[in-house]
Amino acid sequence: WAHQEGTHPKDRHVEKLQVLLSCITEIYYQFKKDKAERRLAYNEEQIHKFDKQKLYYHATKAMTHFTDECVKKYEVFLDKSEEWMRKMLHLRKQLLALTNQCFDIEEEVSKYQDYTSELQETLPQKMFAASSGMKHAMTPVYPCSNTLVEMTLGMKKLKEEMEGVVKELAENNHILERFGALTMDGGLRNVDCL
């Protein structure tokens, strides 16, 4: 944007205004000198009138150049900077929302990691106990009915625990999908499972 609009060194606004100011200053000092002499000759009086016209012309040109070129471009710059500020504040608000979402997701993931690690600690012990019970039950050639009932109950219990683990893994996958569904602008992608 700055390369297309705004004041550039090649526009030479400062130099143009400096030239006009030096012309005005030169005329002013000439007036001051003429006033000190009190009475001017006819030719000098005519020159004095022309200098007044030049002074008016240079002052008007300086004001016009300043208002048309410099002030307008400055106002455009102010409008553009206000627009940039609005966009920046909007992005900041989105980033804060995204940060809060990330913290919430991190908290959920941490909770489920703790829960998963607890299950992993307790599950091998139960599986070991069940497997050692199975070996123990398989040693007799003719197992008694009590042993078969215990094995069946153990298998049912193991099946229930495995179903619980599958359910928890599905919940964890759902959380990970939600975490992966975040977009760059802080919103959520359209995911069917959400």
Determine the average pLDDT of the residues in 44-63: 83
DSSP string, 105-148: HHHHHHHHHHHHHHHHHHHHHHHHHHHHHHHHHHSSSS--HHHH
Query: With 80 as the cut, is the pLDDT of residue 148 above it?
Result: no
Provide the 10 A C-beta neighbour count for residue 104.
11
Take residue 170 and report the two structure tokens written for it. 């599905």
Query: With 70 as the cut, is the pLDDT of residue 29 above it?
Result: yes
pLDDT of residue 171: 81
Take residue 24 and report the two structure tokens written for it. 């005005």
Query: With 90 as the cut, is the pLDDT of residue 54 above it?
Result: no
d(CA 136, CA 187): 56
Query: With 90 as the cut, is the pLDDT of residue 86 above it?
Result: yes
Confidence band of 28 (pLDDT split at 50, 70, 90): confident
pLDDT of residue 87: 92
Query: With 80 as the cut, is the pLDDT of residue 46 above it?
Result: no
> Greater confidence, 194 or 63?
63
3-state class of 182 per DSSP? strand
Instruction: Name the nearest CA neighbour of 73 among 159, 173, 2, 155.
Output: 2
Confidence band of 193 (pLDDT split at 50, 70, 90): very low
Q: Domains of the chain by range and CATH?
A: 9-123 (1.20.1270.420)
3-state class of 154 per DSSP? helix
Model pLDDT for residues 95-137, shown as the tens digit of each residue: 998 888 888 888 888 888 888 888 877 776 666 555 555 544 4
Q: How many CA atoms lie within 13 A of 159 on its CB side?
A: 6
Q: Which of 28-32, 120-124, 144-148 is predicted least confidently? A: 144-148
Confidence band of 83 (pLDDT split at 50, 70, 90): very high
